[in-house]
Chain A
Amino acid sequence: MAGVTLDTVRKIYAGNVEAVKGVSLGIEDGSFCVLVGPSGCGKSTLLRMIAGLETISGGEVKIGERVVNQVEPADRDIAMVFQNYALYPHMTVYDNMAYGLKNRGTPKDEIEKRVKEAARILAIESFLARKPRQLSGGQRQRVAMGRAIVRKPQVFLFDEPLSNLDAKLRVQMRVEIKRLQRALGVTSIYVTHDQVEAMTLSDKLVVMSGGQIEQVGSPADVYRRPETRFVATFIGSPPMNILSGTVEGPGRVSVGGQSIAVTDMREGLTPGSAIEVGLRPEDVQAGGAAASSLSMDVDFVEELGATQLFHGKVAGSEFVVQASTGQLPADTRKLMLAVDPANVHLFDPQTTKRLGRV
């Protein structure tokens, strides 16, 4: 087992395109780290550099205590699960899983023992003699996982492994991956653009954008205390509402003339200066009367079953509120929203950084 350390890692493609702009990150031994971000944010490139499939333009990648910049992928002691599974189509499931061991000269009986063991864990014992094309998407995914675990590597790398599966299977496999990783205790790095996957799987969540890390932390931290406006709107579904307001004084801001109290606010902000106010749809109480509240004009309602989403405008900006079904009549046209001061997030309109207490 080993941790992974990145030190100002860069990737510069031909034509001076910088895909990864100096990323530093420490991933503890045995932890599950998820890299999440929109497409083109450099997360896959970063993963591929750790795997050795992309050259490293600058900085240092360490697996355990060893710098692996110049080490071949085969010698990095990693295993990777690809988005399209990348199974060898001409080999049986057994041979797919045995291939990596054969290449390393593992004795035959040892190979058989390990493949059988992995097949048992993943419940694919009955498919060992089949070819990949005779398997369903979920079964192929398991074989890809099996191929990774038979090798007993130091690090697992996952490159959006669930995005080719249908929604139901995705949830099921997500749980299985987490359970498997817990059981094996192998350091794992997982790339996804799906924030639900990111939240549920990770011990350590890394939010990336534009080739840089926006925030690193536990999923709860990232959700509770987003460091930038990007993270605030990227993590959480439906995304956080952002309103433009002005600073009134310590612990108070105003949005469209309506004053609200804020707990987590940087000291020394100039009264009257512009500020962005973030509120999660699930954090505002519709219909309640409180010390600070906002009025909202409702346009339409989306039914999600257990909850309803009220879409409309607050102080001229788009706003969404989530409420339990039945809490409010569906034909509501005007709402008073009670705002808990602890749930207000403030951001600098220029730097987009959080303006919380230091």
Chain B
Amino acid sequence: MEKRAHFSGWTLPLLLIVPQMAITIIFFYWPASQAIWQSFLREDAFGLSSEFVGFENYVHLFEQPEYYRAMVTTAIFSSLVAFFSLACSLLLATQADKNLRGGQAYKTLLIWPYAVAPAIAGVLWIFMFHPTLGTLSKPIKAIGIDWNPMLNGNHAMTLLVLSATWKQISYNFLFFLAGLQAIPKSVIEAAAIDGAGPLRRFWTVIFPLLSPTTFFLLVVNIVYVFFDTFGIIDAVTGGGPAGTTTTLVYKVYADGRLGGDLGGSAAQSVILMIIVIALTAIQFRYVERKVQY
């Protein structure tokens, strides 16, 4: 089928892409270029003047031990969330793919968490796990754990991983379900006749056939944890206690907005920008070509 559209002049096609271009330029390219420009500047303490300092902001950034700590925190946080959200949603999707009674309701309910705003989700989790008020803190304390995410960094991280994972499961679930439904039923039936039990069928046939979806979701999830978890972190821990849950993206906000170091914060955003571009490039390279059946 011929998919190209034919236009007689330039006016209509230009008009049609103008809104998209305007949004992209105003909300993406302009702020991005501002960030790049700002990362080369340093403001005085009162924000009245700024001077060009070249790469000094970057040099300073890589001299800070806190920056490396934020990198490690981000790496731990993103790998935990990516792993748990992918694993849980895959498990849920394989169950939902069976012909269950009330399967439709089950699927709808699983998609709901995605519609909850990150800050609200964060508040929900605070109340459930608050050391003194939390409904779930009592049973945890009852089994002998001195649960306190306000003071204990590991507990705070656990809580963040829980809430970020919970939030992301819906999204992954939808994609996994679609991926599972795209696998021809007869292939799975053939495997059943070929003597593969349900588990073996999953690992030798279904999981390999899902790998394009899994890879796509892995990249999307890493990007999600890097950037979109800001709301949850801000609501649940505020980067604390003592910076143990400050990820790279939260540090951008903490240094620039709370610390007033606009140049240093802009330099951090530029580095994050480079990471996203790299991830997207990998995504296109591999999803488009390698992992395709």
**What is the interface of chain A, defined by CB distance below 8 A to chain B?**
51-53, 72-74, 78-80, 82-84, 86-90, 99-100, 103-104, 133, 147, 151
Contact = CB atoms under 8 A, between A and B. Distances in A.
B220 to A, nearest CB: 22
A352 to B, nearest CB: 35
Nearest to A157: B193
B192 interface: yes
Contacts of B194: 74, 99-100, 103, 147, 151
B20 interface: no
A73 B205 contact: no
A103 B293 contact: no
A78 B193 contact: yes
A88 B193 contact: no
B187 interface: yes
Contacts of A74: 192-197
Contact of A99 (B191, B197, B208, B209): B191
Contacts of B186: 82-84, 86
Given A100-B195, A103-B195, A103-B200, A86 B209 contact: no
A53 B192 contact: yes
**B184, B193, B196, B208, most chain A CB atoms within 10 A:** B193
Interface residues of B, number: 18
A84 B184 contact: yes
Contacts of B273: none
Contact of B190 (A52, A86, A104): A86
Given A103-B200, A133-B293, A88 B191 contact: yes
A133 B209 CA distance: 14
Given A74-B196, A86-B187, A90-B208, 4 more contacts: A52-B193, A84-B186, A86-B190, A87-B190
Nearest to B209: A90
B189 interface: yes
A89 B196 CA distance: 16
Contact residues of A: prevailing secondary structure: loop
Nearest to A105: B195
6 contacts: A52-B193, A53-B192, A73-B193, A89-B293, A100-B193, A100-B195
A80 B191 contact: no
A148 to B, nearest CB: 9
Interface in B53-93: none
A153 B200 CA distance: 21
B96 to A, nearest CB: 19
A4 to B, nearest CB: 15
A88 B196 contact: no
A99 B200 CA distance: 11
A89 B189 contact: no
Contacts of B209: 89-90
A125 to B, nearest CB: 21
Nearest to A153: B193
Contacts of B196: 74, 99, 103
> Which of B184, B186, B191, B195 is most buried by chain A, counting CB atoms within 10 A of its CB?
B195
Nearest to A95: B204
B293 A51 contact: no
Nearest to B183: A89
Report, nearest first, the 3 A-B pairs whose CB atoms are least far apart.
Answer: A100-B194, A86-B186, A103-B195
B64 to A, nearest CB: 46
B293 A80 contact: no
A317 to B, nearest CB: 43
B183 to A, nearest CB: 9
Contact of A86 (B189, B195, B204): B189
Interface in B173-188: 184, 186-187
| Most interface-central of B186, B196, B205 (chain A CB within 10 A) | B186
Contacts of A84: 184, 186
Contacts of A80: 189-190, 193
Contacts of A53: 189, 192-193
Interface in B199-219: 200, 204-205, 208-209
Nearest to A148: B193
Nearest to A79: B193
B107 to A, nearest CB: 19
Nearest to A78: B193
Contacts of B293: 89-90, 133
Contact of B184 (A51, A72, A86): A86
A88 B196 CA distance: 13
A304 B119 CA distance: 75
B190 A82 contact: yes
Nearest to A82: B186
A82 B189 contact: yes
Contact of A73 (B192, B200, B204, B208): B192
B189 A88 contact: no
B207 to A, nearest CB: 10
A64 B125 CA distance: 61
Contacts of A52: 193
Nearest to B197: A74
A103 B196 CA distance: 6
A238 B187 CA distance: 37
B180 to A, nearest CB: 15
Contacts of A151: 194
A52 B184 CA distance: 18
A166 B189 CA distance: 25
A99 B208 CA distance: 14
